Amino acid sequence: MKSRRYFKYLFSIILLFLFSGFFPGKGDLYFEISKNIDLFGSVYKEISLNYVDDIDPEKFMREGIKGMLNSLDPYTIFVDENKKEDIELITNGKYGGVGISIGIRGDNVTVVEVLDGYSAQRQGIRIGDILLEAGSIKITPANMEDISSLVKGKPGTEVELKVLRNGDKDTLIFNLIREEVIVKNLIYYGFYPERSNNVYMKLTSFSRSASDEVKKALKELKAEKEIKSLILDLRGNPGGLLDVAVDIIDKFLEKGELIVTTKGRDEISIKEYHAVQEPMIGNAKLVVLINGGSASASEIVAGAIQDHDRGVILGTKSYGKGLVQTITPLNYNTSIKITTAKYYTPSGRCIQKIDYSKESDIIINVDSMIATSYSTDNDRIVYGAGGITPDTTVEFEIEGDLTAGLLAKGLFFKFADYYYYRNIDEKFSSINNEKLTNEFTKYLKENNFVYKSESEKQLDELIADANKKKLNEKVIADLQNVKKYFEEIDNSELTLYKDEILTEIKGELASRYFGAEGRVEELLKYDTQFRTAYNLVSDQTVYNKLLNIK
């Protein structure tokens, strides 16, 4: 009897601990959660049933969820069932689709890449084809995001695409079978320049297969000849999976070295990741290229390389995303991506740029604050917060206003189609640059391209203002004469920016001849940051000095 009372008492204690979460204060938290779920449900039910107008229950609930998440950081999001393919792409690097990438070029939704080996390529879809309809739904730039989810779908199912091809009057209809499309993370690797012992790798994401792709590439290249240096290009890489980033860094650091530390909101959520294998390229020189588009997993890689002085970070400052997200599946094919931790580089830096402070409604940009200094293994000074600052800053050459205007209208892309399919038998190596430039100038005139520099736009505003205020006619006439001068300058800008215009055209044409890899290789010829990196790995003295190697 006594023992029964004892076990009853013990069971009550265990239940108390279970419902209090084993930690002081957890019971209050669970009570608050329970109370507010009940309150939220009651409000939702009452409005859905009794509001004066009809309520769409699903849409109404989605707005409520969106409202809650808007009070947090922008990386904590609810993923609806129609975005399931996007989560599959982020986590596993694959999706159900037809093997095309689409983008807006000018006023049209256009095929910008066709992947080898999938139904779109096998049935003849081309880069530059304009998408008119998917199924029975018309395609416009306004609904491109919805169209993307329509083209994607369960492997084995069919989608009908109606396209307009450059130079053709009639539309073409393709009935394509969706397949499991595996997206490459490593879009280029090889010895570059070709006869050197320098490897160039372009990594665009960190989905599940990225580490295996890098490992396979390094094995293949090592079998070909000795790797004396490697340039890892993470420019524009928005990141991906934490464990994949860890696996990739593991191929370059010494066994046992700290790669990254993640810290959640309590002490038991701290986790350290260390290198568990010997480096695949030994002591070969290493340069990592970054820019403002390098984020998250890219910054984990760059931060670990920098803190251990394993290589030189070159380019411009990275994005500054030091937060870790966890994806949790929910009911009805939905999921939620929640920020669960911050990550810290081996020296202890958190490189998060924006502080979404929970203490107030203020969002703090840490670029405006004094950065804390840290030390690398070789006692170099590096700074926390606001992204990874390169060891050597090399600004990317910014195109002129004319080039930017041509890019915005998709005219390099469109001209590449126009030229390629009219000169289909011409070898890429045989293309005459002077002829190409003249053809492009002619193409712009035929398509009534109008270009106005920022200065001319401001002048137009000044003339309009002068007319509105009815200023002296002579003043207005003088301004009109200045405008004629600007028009003459605009016509000469095609010559002034000839080199960068030619670079853009050759890059687009290379993708028509050789695919995405060909485009990467062609653009490397004109890439100032790559050229600086290659010169750096070719000069042991400068390389050692930058890393403080004695």
What pLDDT is attached to residue 487? 58
487 DSSP β-pair partners: none
Band of pLDDT at residue 102, cut at 50, 70 and 90: very high
CA geometry: angle 206, 211, 212, nearest 5 deg: 130
Instruction: Determine phi and psi for 326, rounding to 5 degrees.
Output: -120, 130
Per annotation, catalytic residue among 84, 317, 321, 409:
321
pLDDT tens digits for range 399-456: 677 888 888 888 999 999 999 999 999 999 999 999 999 999 899 988 888 776 667 7
Buried b (16+ CB within 10 A) or exposed e, 57-76: eeeeeeeeeeeebeeebeeb
Smallest Cα–Cα separation from 182: which of 162, 146, 139, 212? 212
**Mind giving me the DSSP string for 481-515?**
HHHHHHHHHHHHHHHHTHHHHHHHHHHHHHHHHHH
Per annotation, catalytic residue among 205, 207, 229, 296:
296
Band of pLDDT at residue 357, cut at 50, 70 and 90: low
What pLDDT is attached to residue 366? 52
Band of pLDDT at residue 485, cut at 50, 70 and 90: low
What pTM does this model have? 0.85
pLDDT tens digits for range 159-205: 999 999 986 778 999 999 999 999 899 999 999 999 999 999 999 99
The question of whether 233 is a catalytic residue gets the answer no
What is the chain's mean pLDDT, rounded?
Answer: 88
- Averaged pLDDT, 138-159: 86
Region of 375 on the Ramachandran plot (φ > 0 left; ψ -120 to 50 alpha; else beta): beta
Instruction: Determine phi and psi for 133, rounding to 5 degrees.
Output: -145, 150
The question of whether 296 is a catalytic residue gets the answer yes
Using the predicted structure, report yes or no on whether residue 471 has a pLDDT greater than 90.
Answer: no
CA geometry: angle 206, 301, 204, nearest 5 deg: 35
At which residue do the structure tokens 């840290």 appear?
Answer: 374
At which residue do the structure tokens 């994005």 appear?
Answer: 319
- Tokens encoding 306: 């920098």
Per annotation, catalytic residue among 307, 391, 417, 527:
307
The question of whether 154 is a catalytic residue gets the answer no
